[in-house]
Structure 1
Amino acid sequence: MQHADALVAILMLAFAAAVLGCLWRAKRGRVPYVRQIPGIASLEEAVGRATELGRPVVFALGHSGLQAIETHAALSILAYVARLAARLRTPFVTLVSQQDVYPVAEETVRQAYTAEGVPDQFRAEEQVRYLSNHTVVYAMGAARIIEESRAGCALFFGPFDFTSLLMAEPGARLGVMQIAGDPSLFQIPFFVCTCDYTVIGEEYYAAGAYLSTDPAARATLASQDLIKAIFAGLVGAGTLLYQFHAAWPPWLHEFLRALKIVGPRP
């Protein structure tokens, strides 16, 4: 069994201090600033447009199961959109492709309607639909629902595969406002071609903190950026140390060797 050496222990303490420090500042009222994400900021506009047109909001979840962090990020966005739809009395449909995600998605939408004071308007059999765990069948089913219901807006959040273009093409052809988010960069070009807004890369994971009013959520997001800055600083410092290792004083070499960063001098 391997144990952490001194360098790993120092890094763990630094990362823990970054997280705890950001949480402490947030509890004292210093909530970190999160820049605007255009795709997430346009969710309210999309639901509002569907409300004006009197058409439903279609929210399609990705192909990942409940154990995937991508699914939980999509569910946080689903909760926000469902509350908007319930508040504006807009027809709302959620499409699911995984069996284990279905009950969680149903409860998420139910709680959204309850939070807005209209639990009687939630109809699980109509508003949360399981289509298929086969990606092609799911994509074609979602495309048919968007086309036949004349959706006011279509939202796609979660990991998708090559069927993303099949799913989003009907809405693009009909002029439906569409917003998509996928943590995988492989499907982003297809969504860029067919959607009005696209949430790219780490913006997808930051969406939950952006939409949340909980200071702790934004604090954890800020701590992640701080940890990345620490890593970038270590990479830069390591590069400089490697370039000038011949001029190191003996005490510096012994110190780095004690941390197991370098080996003995040649």
Structure 2
Amino acid sequence: MKKILLFSVLLGTHTAILAQGQFLDTLYANAHQVLSLSFESPIDKGITGSEHFTFGFNREIAENLGLLQAQKGRESNLLVRTLDGNLYGFILAYRDTLSELHHFISTDQQIKKPLQKDGTGTLEKDTIRIPPDPKPDYAQNCQKLLERQGSFHHIKRQKGLRIRMAESLYHGDKVYVVYELKNRSAIPYELGQLQLLKVLGTQKRKASYQELPISPLYFHQMPKVIGSGAKLRFVVVYPKFTLNAEERLQLKVLETHGSRNLTVKLP
């Protein structure tokens, strides 16, 4: 009942926004690819207008990452509320093949309150409070890590690509990880997604197998394209995490267009 009530309220807001001429971005999804959405604040609520679109997020521990998939059908919409109180709305549509597999959602994309007139008939400014940028120290810390000559581990070579990962550096409640990606092939490599996941169980027992993405907080100098013969280093910042005795880490590197994907199982 609470879920239905929440959707009714959000749907009303969505209709009002469209009536005021504020157009929503369209997200495309299908059943065989996962579209991931990273918000600047952890997700509090998320709901789709139709059952053939599914939006999943961690309901036990607040995280920034949401995953969208869809069965073929008519367009719908997605409404997401984050813990900082911001509300986001999107149009959802089915597409057989996705050109993008990850979207970073900034606070600039939140649904805006309409401008209202004060007692003198003057339009008041938007009163939505945008939280301060939480990343002022991230770039500086990441740059220092890139300037260090640290050793790399967990090397994986496949399909003309090589991914290397340095030891994790814990700083407060954040984890900094330096990656190095080299393209040994003659074809440029378009980096679609880089996912760090907690893995529980084995794929042989699908009923108990579970992959839980660790939501990134910040990407520093992460490339979109790695040219032929090029080698690039970048840093990803994650919230501090722990593993229990039955969990392990897994890294996935996915190409935007193509099948040159790497999976690295970390001890």
Is TM > 0.5 for Structure 1 vs Structure 2? no
The structure with the largest strand share of the pair is 2
| Rg comparison, structure with higher value | 1
The structure with the largest helix share of the pair is 1
Q: Which has the higher contact order (CA 8 A, sep 6+)?
A: 1
TM-score bracket, shorter-length normalisation: under 0.3
- TM-score, with normalisation over the residues of structure 1? 0.22
